[in-house]
A and B are shown apart, each in its own frame.
Chain A
C-alpha cells in the first residue's frame, strides 16, 4: 500500500486531464447556455463555430510564427486568440444579421431557430473544411511541460511521476480569468444586467427601454469570445480537427443541461461533472488501485469501467440520471 504514489498517479491520469477538459467544456457550455437563455434556442452550430474560431487563431499563429514572433515558453496561439475572437465575432454577427435577425423579426418560434442553426452548422462545416481542410492540425508550440514526469520523480523521489503540460496550466488559468470576467460583466455592468433582464422577462425588458438588438449583438460577441477561447484551449491541449469539434457538441450540451440550461454557474459545474465522469469512467484504474489497496486485494484486470470509445455514453448517462432526478438541472435552469 502506498497512498502517496496512488494520489500522484490519480492526479496525473485523472485529476489534471479532467480539470483541463472540464474547463474547456465549461467555456463551451457557457456559450450554449447564454444563447439558450437570451436568444432562446439551442445552437447546433456551436461546435462548428468553435472550430472556426480555432481555425482563425491557427492561421494567425502561423502568420506570427512565419514572422518570427513567438511567446517564448508560451504557445504563440495565445497571442493570436484576440484575432481569432475578432474573426469569429465578425462571422457570427454577419450570420445574425443575414440569417437569424429575419426570424426574430418574424417572431419565429425557438424551434424554427434551432432548424435554422442546423443550416448554419452545415455552412460553417463546409467553410472550415474549405479553408483548412478536414485534417488534424497541431499548433501548440513553446515549452511542452510545466513539470514533466521525470523531473517530478527526481524531485520527490516517488515512483510515480506527475506531468502537467503547459497547455493544461494555461487552460485552467485562462478559463478562470474568462469566467471571472464574464460574471463580473453579467452581474456588475449595466449591459450585463440588461442581458439578464432580457433573458428573464423579454416584454418587461423592452418596456424598460432595453434594446433587443444590442442585447443580441453583445450576446453573440460574448459567445464568440467564449467559444474561440474554448476551441483554442482544446486544440492546444489535444489537436484541431473539425469533426472532433463538431462532436464536442454532445458533451457541451450535456454539460449545459446537467448544470441547468440558462444558468451560467450550472454550465461551469456541468462542464466539470461531465469531464470528471468521462475521464474517471474510461480510465484504467489498475495502477492507482495497486498503490492504494493492500497486496491481497490488488486487481488483476485493468479495472477500466468502459473503453475510451464510450466516452460519449458517459456524458449521456450522467445527463439521463440528472434529468430523471432533477429535470431542471443541478442549478435550476430554465428547463421547466
Chain B
C-alpha cells in the first residue's frame, strides 16, 4: 500500500477507535483519551526529533516531562510571601553558592589541571552551600506546611507555563547533552536514564520547590471550571437544547477546551517540525545521520548539531509535560514512572515510524488508546473466562488481578511484533 493512502487510513482508524469509545463506553472517556493522545503525540514528536532525525537514544523522557510539570507550578501558582520572607532569599543564595561552586570547580580543573584543587573547591563549596541552603529550606518548609510549605510560583497565566516547561527541559538537556555528547563517544542513554531519576528525586524531595510528595493540587486552568458553567443559565439552556444534562455538558465542554488548546500546540509543533525537516538544517541533520564520517569531513560540527537537536527534542517533551500537568490540575511527583513516561513514548515512536513526524503522532494516539483500553478489555476477557470457571474458584480472583497488568505485556508484544514485521514502523520514513 502506498504511503499516501496508508497514512490517512491509519489516522481514520484512530478516529474510529476514539469515536467508538464515545459511542460504546462514554464520551468522557473518549475525550480523555483524545486529550492524553494529543499530549502523547507531542511527546512522541520530541523523541522522534531526537531518535528519528539524529539517532540520539534518549531514555530520560520522564525527566523532561516532569520538568514541564514543575514549570506549571512555578509559573502559575501564587507566590507564598511568608515563605519568601522566612527563607526564600537564603535558598536562592544557597543555590547561587552551589552553582558558583560547580563553576569554580570546573574552572579549577580547566585552568590549573589540578584534580585535588578541584576536589577541595567542591568539598568546601558543598558544605558552605548546605550550611546556607538547609536553614532556608527548614524555614520555608515550616511555613504553613499543611497547605503550602513551599515558595509558590509567579502567579502567571497557566498557558505561559507551557513554553516555560520547554525552557526548563531545554536547560537540563543542554547541561546533560554538553557532558554526554561531548565525550569521546556518546553516553547519552545512560546519562539520560540517570538524569531522569535525579529530576524525579529532586521533585519528590525538595518540598520548598513544589511540595515534594505532598503534591501541589488545584493548579490554575486555562479553561472554565465545570461548576461555573453549571451556574451559568445561558450554558444550561444551551445544553438543554442539545438534550444534555448540565453536568455532562460542562464536563465535555471543559475537556474539549483542552483538546482545542492541545491540538493547536500539536499542529504548530508538527508544522515547525516538518518545515525544519525539509529545510537545509533538516537535510544536514539527515546527512549527518546517514553518514557521519562524510559530514565531519565536510566540516560539519556533528557534536554541536546533535546537542542542538537533543535540546530541541527535550524542550518539546517539556512542553508536553507542562500540558499534561495542566490537564491533570495537579503535580504528583510520585506518579512518574519510567515505563509509562519514557519507554511507552519510545514504543509510540517505534510503532508509529521512526523518522516520520506523522508516524510518531499516529503512534502517540494509537499506543495511548491501547494503553488505556487494554486493561478493560483484559478485564472483560478475564470476567468471561472467570464465568466459565466454577464460582469461587481461586482462579477467578487471580485472573482479575492479572488483567490489570496485561497492558505492560501487551505493549511489549506490540513493540516486538512491529519491530519484527515492520521494523521501520507503521508509517516509515520514506
Contact = CB atoms under 8 A, between A and B. Distances in A.
Question: Which residue, B193, B338, B350, has most C-beta atoms of chain A within 10 A?
Answer: B193
A263 B11 CA distance: 48
A116 to B, nearest CB: 6
A307 B206 CA distance: 10
Interface string B170-207: 00000000011001110101110111011001001100
A122 B339 contact: yes
A42 B189 CA distance: 10
Counting chain A residues whose Cβ lies within 8 A of the other chain, the interface size class is 35 or more
A111 B57 contact: yes
Interface string A101-125: 0100000000110111011111111
Contact of B412 (A126, A134, A305, A323): A126
B406 interface: yes
Question: Which residue, B191, B193, B343, B416, has most C-beta atoms of chain A within 10 A?
Answer: B416
Interface in A1-52: 42, 44
Contacts of A133: 401
Contacts of A247: 197
A312 B201 contact: yes
Contacts of A305: 126
Interface string A287-318: 00000000000000100010101101101100
Contacts of A319: 190-191, 194
B194 A254 contact: yes
B239 to A, nearest CB: 42
B409 A123 contact: yes
A250 B350 CA distance: 23
A129 interface: yes
B330 interface: no
Given A122-B347, A307-B205, A316 B409 contact: no
B contacts with A: majority SS: helix
B350 A123 contact: no
Contacts of B405: 126, 129-130, 134
A310 B408 contact: no
A contacts with B: majority SS: helix
Interface residues of B, number: 46
Interface string B370-407: 00000000000000000000000000000001100111
Contact of B193 (A99, A125, A130, A253): A253
A127 interface: yes
Contacts of B410: 126
Nearest to B403: A130
Interface in A248-281: 249-250, 253-254, 257
A335 interface: yes
A99 B420 CA distance: 8
A116 B183 contact: no
Contact of B187 (A134, A315, A323): A323
Contacts of A118: 343, 346-347, 415
A254 B190 CA distance: 8
Contacts of A124: 412
4 residue pairs, one from A and one from B, having the closest CB atoms: A122-B412, A126-B409, A123-B412, A316-B194
25 contacts: A44-B343, A111-B57, A115-B419, A116-B416, A118-B346, A120-B412, A122-B347, A122-B409, A122-B411, A123-B409, A123-B416, A126-B408, A126-B412, A130-B409, A243-B337, A247-B197, A253-B190, A254-B194, A312-B194, A312-B198, A316-B191, A319-B190, A319-B191, A319-B194, A323-B180
Given A102-B420, A327-B185, 12 more contacts: A111-B55, A118-B415, A122-B343, A122-B347, A122-B415, A123-B413, A126-B407, A257-B187, A257-B190, A310-B205, A327-B187, A336-B185
Interface of A: 42, 44, 99, 102, 111-112, 114-116, 118-127, 129-130, 133-134, 243, 246-247, 249-250, 253-254, 257, 301, 305, 307, 309-310, 312-313, 315-316, 319-320, 323-325, 327, 335-336
Interface of B: 55, 57, 59, 115, 126, 134, 179-180, 183-185, 187, 189-191, 193-195, 197-198, 201, 204-205, 337-339, 343, 346-347, 350, 401-402, 405-413, 415-416, 419-420, 423
